[in-house]
Chains A and B, each alone.
Chain A
Amino acid sequence: MKIIFLNIFVLIFTAHLTAQTYSISGKITDTENKPLIGVNIILTGTGYGTSSDQNGDYEIIELTNGNYNLKFSAVGYDNVFRNITIKDKSILMNVTMTEKAVETQQVIVTAGKREQYITDLPVSADVIPSGEFSKKNFSNLENALRYVPGVNMTEDQISIRGSSGYSRGAGSRVLLALDGIPFYTGDTGETIWEMIPTPVIQRVEIIKGAASSLYGSTAIGGVINVITNDIPEKPATFFNSFIGMYDKPAHSEWRWSDENRYYNGLTLAHAQKFGGFGIEASLTRLEDMSYKQNGFSHKYIGFLKGKFEINPASTITILANTLNKKGGNFYYWKDSRHALIPADDQQGQTIKTSRYLFGAVYKNVINQDLLLNVKTSYYRTDWNDTSPAMDKSLTNLYRGEVQVNKSFSDEVVIVTGIEGLSSNVKSNLFGNPDMISGGIYVQGDISYFSPLTISAGIRYDYSRLDSLKGENALSPKIGLNYKLTDDLILRSSAGTGFRAPSLAEAFTSTTASGIIIKPNPDLKSETNFTFEIGAGYLPSDYFNLDAALFQSEYYDFIEPRIDPADGLAVFSNVTRARIQGVETDIKSDLFKKSLSLSLSYTYLWTRDLNKQKALKYRPRHIFAGSIDYYLWNFDLGTDFRYWSRIEEIDDELVRIINDGDLRAEVYVLDLRASYNFSSLGIPASLFLNADNVLNYNYVELIGNLKPVRNYSLSLQFNF
């Protein structure tokens, strides 16, 4: 074994040291000669590239003599292509990019585990750009997702096109990934949105509908992939500080504190390259006194990304993401007259959490047509609370994946891979179970019959939860993309998804607020079949309309219920469900981009076919709107969202929580203003936000009032 490692080491470093190499560098500007930050520069056919730094400068190093095709791409700009020949000297090449009014050529890496234009996909997808987090002062990814078409949140649980209801801390039907590395806990299978520091996010890609044919379990409702910043060529430092204050509650009965309730945050990040090695480190501290009694939280979020360029064709990227949190417990209110005070049994309870994710990605462009991607990760969670049950859990989750992308021609691309994971838990809640699972997948994208692109894939998964019987799942999917005209793109896809139960759903044994939860050794995977047909209409650079019809059939839906035999709560395969809906999304830029409008509407018809009732926690109507007005260095904006009143909630919980039946439609209006000081030579921006300015009172989950009106001031520096 030592000899093998030694040989690999020698091979890598002799290749690195002996080749005579050159570089391509330059500055990228817009038509007004302003530097463009974050432009992707790719040597096409190799997947190798970089991105421009804070000054618009870029540099691709360690290139040997030869011909190279460069592609420059950036959100909101037309792509630029250049053919370059390197012969015994480095090349200096400046590029000017032209603004595009609407982001029609957004590049997505999640839908097919490779770079594709969003207009080439057979499925619906959305992108949240990094700027959204700054201008709306979102320190948690969860908040930004509430404005994505077709998405609704019930507290921290996400539902894409009605995929999920709410089961506190047990399982998710949407897969979160960080730079392609799946990111859910080993015990509960839940998504911890607050763990990802928003300043390191370059963009968030959202794939809607079952994606199990590539991603396996958990992706039954869709995938959210957080792409982190590229490490710039020149050193860059980022600093952000904000302070906010909650207004008084709308009703005098709810005023439980005479103190002003504040929240604040601080982020310091730095990125730098040292030759072939680049590093980005970020530390965030967030404090929230909360508008709710015992709702406080203190968080420290760490992030580290290191990228080592072994040679022009291969890189190793390491990731580390940590969260240390202490917070109070507020499961639900005492009653509607004390809506911001927790029930008596939660008073004074706290929870401490430590979570650590470590990942490594090895990427090797073996040749122009062959790419190798190896991903490994380790996710450790450790939490304990001070409830009478003294619940605690320690989990280790190990994961590995090998992926190969092969282009047989410009018209045929195959993506295939194999993936495995192992998890072990030590907990008084779940016992000490372990879990293993593995999958193998292949997907082909064929564009022989232009303008038709056919995408077909299949994945086989095996999973076993401790003593439960192992289960197999086969998840096929087929998709079509047809460019009817230059302006009108049709797409359609059909496929199956599955979700293995989490260890928490199968093995939880605890008592909480009078409910005794027992394990279910007979729990099996849930499956679905999803179908969608959609169209994108882009008649001009200033207008983009997208619409989709979708339907999902769910089988063996896992939900908590009361076992009539003993009165205990248990997770069971109880429901056969159907979800149908329409989603529309309009984006428009007017008056030379000085005014941007975005509107989306989703209609959801959900049905529990056993009970002939709507599914729990799904609003029938979801609307979101956003307006931005740019004037000189000012940006004035407003966001509005509406969800219709939830039809069905947990009846069992209503019996336990005082006034638990109270709920209302959601009207949330946010206002914001920002000023960019760059024209004064100061690399800073100031943001002022007023959220829920109507001070509207609503819940997403029974007995949990969402934030009252609050104001924040944020200052950001980019050095």
Chain B
Amino acid sequence: MKHLLMLLGILTLVFSLSACTFGVDSDSEENITVYTDRHYDTDRDLYDTFEEETGIKVNILSDDADRLINKLENEGEDTPADILVLADAGRLHRAKERDILQSVQSDTLNANIPENYRDVDSEWFGLTRRARVMVYHPDRVDESELSTYEALAGDEWEGRVVTRSSTNIYNQSLIASLIAINGEDETKSFIEGLVSNFARKPSGNDRDQAKAVMKGTGDVAILNTYYMGRMAYSSDEYERDVAETLEVYFPNQETTGTHVNVSGAGVAKHTDNQEGAVRFIEFLSSTQAQESYASANYEYPINPDVSAHELLQGWGTFTTQDLDLSELGVHSETAAIIMDESGWE
């Protein structure tokens, strides 16, 4: 007992002392620190390739987007972060507004990434694309019945629509895009109509919505394209079944285009390795990395020279919203507020 206590005591002391320095950057080798809310196992392979080619070590801190933004804000000038990677342009815009990113001039990035997927002030750069589409059961819904997001507020869809909570950023960005295109008042009436058509109170994530449609709780779901990809290649046989049975529909093809969002990266305002950070983002946008970076999550690549995963290609091409993605961030807060006011839980 006594020996055990002594051992524990020494261990504690040693550990506490070393804990003081754990995590602090060593100056021995060049490195960059990435705060990211995206973390797939295959990403590590890409980082390793980057390390081999450039000799710059990549440190990762992965967490939810908003916590990362908050952390960067609190750390201020002293932050160890060099790069911020976030899913959703709304969040990237929020990061820009909180003054934690900096403007980057890079011909490579401008060449690899189309203009509307870059921040207007070059503070963030889209790296993958995803569309927020409708997924339906062909036995209960005929494709001709579907047209636009706005049409889902109509009476014929009562009790047939499922989607996730309004607190989720993806829905918030979708609504933000509709505010940008249709205006606040029209969007508010749209939401009220949509909410009255919900088959159930929003719960679960995007995949749960697809499963609800499969089960018959609803007939049409709103979700991101990459979840269909994930289910199609899931190790769970029944998820593959869902992906095979349900059909994907790209709304607003005749009108304003399907809502597209990006995941992207920006250089931290108070980085101490600006050059390395820019190189990293350029790497991720390059043809070398894009295919695996985007396909890892069944997303569309941002680089127009790179082709998408074959599953995505199978869905065909589609018209997207003609929108500067910064707008998603601009109207994000308004979107959240009117969703709350209209009872979208």
The judgment on whether A and B are partners is no
